[in-house]
Amino acid sequence: MRLLRRLAKEVLGEEVGRKVWGRVEIIGDIAVIRKPPDVDLETLKILANELVRRLRYVRSVWAAVTPVTGTYRVREYVHLAGEERSETIYREHGCVFKVDIREVYISPVLNYEHIRVARKVAKGEYVINMFAGVGLFSIIIAKHASPSKVISIDINPIAHRLMVENIRLNKVDDVVEAVLGDACEIVKRYRGMADRVLMPLPELSVKCLPQAVEALKGKGVVHVYEFVTATSREEAVVEAKKIFGDALNELNVSYDFEEGRVVRSVGPRYYQVVLDIKISRRI
């Protein structure tokens, strides 16, 4: 049984415990519990205090009271137990990231995705990460592959500031360049320069696909992320291919789906999918 639900049943009783989401998200020394609709915050505080007592590495516990919202894709939180601090150091694939869970997007669920993409980057590639957050894909690519450049764009000024710090902390200043602003506009500066463009923001991946494609050299790879409704994981990938196939058919390109996979299941019959698409621009 998932750790949090087991603990919840122990300290709050069977009935309340059953309502608690099983997975606790650990980000550095911060634990995040999703607030179930019919369990109040005072009850969750009892559970959170027990979590701090039992898990020595947890110093602060927060309840996520909304899903990610807004342009910056950040959840709203309420402090439950331990230190009232939302900044921490998050570690992934041998890299360190300063984050502030109340100010920037951060999700350990993308852990595998970060290294999966990094492993695809060939020596000397010019990479553009359009929706970089605090720089996870960009820095992990710089550390695990040998790109010539990673342009790392985000519109959230706090994410940008933390990304600049993270680039320095991980000693990749010679390769990764943090850029603040709207990627769909900024990417136009890099027309014809990129071997690979990452679009890890489902809300804008179709809309800004033409600009991403324009940023590619004659040919290259675009990684697109999208939410799709489907009855199975396999169908979710097929659906995503239809969406991006239609969008690419509007552009003057030929394309080939290199890989497609479900990144996570978001809700009943609702999935986040990534497609790696090889694209050749027709001159």
Chain residues binding ligand SAM by CB under 6 A are 71-73, 105-106, 110, 131-133, 136-137, 153-156, 159, 182-184, 200-201, 204
Which one, 73 or 75, has the nearer CB to ligand SAM? 73
Q: At what angle do helices 136-144 and 157-169 cross, to 10 degrees?
A: 20
In whole angstroms, how close is the CB of 67 to ligand SAM at the nearest point?
12
In whole angstroms, how close is the CB of 204 to ligand SAM at the nearest point?
6
Which one, 44 or 164, has the nearer CB to ligand SAM? 164
In whole angstroms, how close is the CB of 266 to ligand SAM at the nearest point?
12
In whole angstroms, how close is the CB of 139 to ligand SAM at the nearest point?
10
Which one, 126 or 131, has the nearer CB to ligand SAM? 131
Could you give the CA distance from residue 224 to residue 74 in angstroms, rounded to a whole number? 20
Which one, 95 or 110, has the nearer CB to ligand SAM? 110
Across-strand partners of 256?
278
Could you give the CA distance from residue 91 to residue 182 in angstroms, rounded to a whole number? 27
Which one, 61 or 159, has the nearer CB to ligand SAM? 159
In whole angstroms, how close is the CB of 202 to ligand SAM at the nearest point?
8
Q: What is the separation, in whole angstroms, between the first and last Cα of the chain? A: 56
For residue 111, give both structure tokens: 């852990």
Which one, 60 or 156, has the nearer CB to ligand SAM? 156
In whole angstroms, how close is the CB of 151 to ligand SAM at the nearest point?
12
Helix (H, G, I), strand (E, B) or coil at 235: helix
Q: Which residues touch 62 (CB under 8 Å, ≥6 apart)?
A: 30, 31, 32, 33, 77, 78, 79, 80, 86, 101
Contact 116, 99 (CB under 8 A): no
Rounded to the nearest angstrom, the gap between the alpha carbon of residue 118 and the centroid of all alpha carbons in its chain is: 14
